[in-house]
Amino acid sequence: MPKIVDHEQKRKEIMQAAIKIFNVKGYEKTRISDISDEANVSRTTVYQYFKDKEHLFESAVDFVINRVHGRIKDIVNDKSVSFYDKVTAIVTELLKRHKYTSILLTLVEKWMQDNDNTKEQYKVLDMYSIKIKEIFESLFEEAKKNQEIEEVSEKIMSVILYSMIEGLLTYFANNKEEDVEVYIQSVSALLNGLKSRYVA
């Protein structure tokens, strides 16, 4: 009896292998054979699911972005969690998964090398950063209304926080042995400095 293949699972496994290889080698140096070896499948199998390296890369980026957004949405929608815990949880999600989300940095590098900056994938990256900043902005706005934090510009704070995360992700990409937890604690300490005098 022929083995039943879960095509969705197989596609996901290939994408996860691709994410790992793209993160290590970058886009230009990655070959389909590298990905097939990592996924323990043949090159032919990879091409059954993805037409070429570009398609696989785009699919992997979309997969990462959707997964990150889904997790952040769950954090934001948790009504039992305070502003500080929500923001810290989002920062933790983004930084602790840096080995996973580093593919977004690979996309940035590809963007800088590519002359055609109108590609849909680059627009997706823009939307990703805008969405994260909007989430931070809404959290700061809500915290101000609830007098959890002092009066600050939610727009400016969201840009500062996102830029800090973006910078740390770049730093971790080049310093893979760093203890991410220490940086998360430092970001949390900075956020605590915003606490309103009304908060015990």
Q: Say whether pLDDT at 4 is over 80.
A: no
Question: Using CA atoms, how far apart are residues 96 and 100, in angstroms rounded to an integer?
Answer: 9
Rounded average pLDDT over 175-200: 80
Superfamily of domain 7-192: Tetracycline Repressor, domain 2 (1.10.357.10)
Rounded average pLDDT over 17-30: 86
What are the distances in angstroms from CA 10 to CA 2, 15, 30, 93, 162?
A: 16, 9, 20, 25, 34
Q: Say whether pLDDT at 118 is over 60.
A: no
Q: Say whether pLDDT at 116 is over 60.
A: no
Q: Say whether pLDDT at 198 is over 60.
A: no
DSSP state of 195: B
Three-state SS sequence of 126-141: HHHHHHHHHHHHHHHH
Q: Could you state, in order of their start, the residue ranges of all structural domains in the chain?
A: 7-192
Mean pLDDT for the chain? Answer: 83
Instruction: Single out the residue of 22, 19, 23, 20 nearest to residue 31, CA to CA.
Output: 22
Rounded average pLDDT over 152-160: 92
Of 83-92, 116-125, 169-178, least confident by mean pLDDT is 116-125
pTM of the entire structure? 0.77
Q: Say whether pLDDT at 1 is over 50.
A: no
What are 62-83's pLDDT values in tens digits?
888 888 888 999 999 998 888 9
- Under DSSP, is residue 181 helix (H, G, I), strand (E, B) or coil? helix
Rounded average pLDDT over 109-122: 60
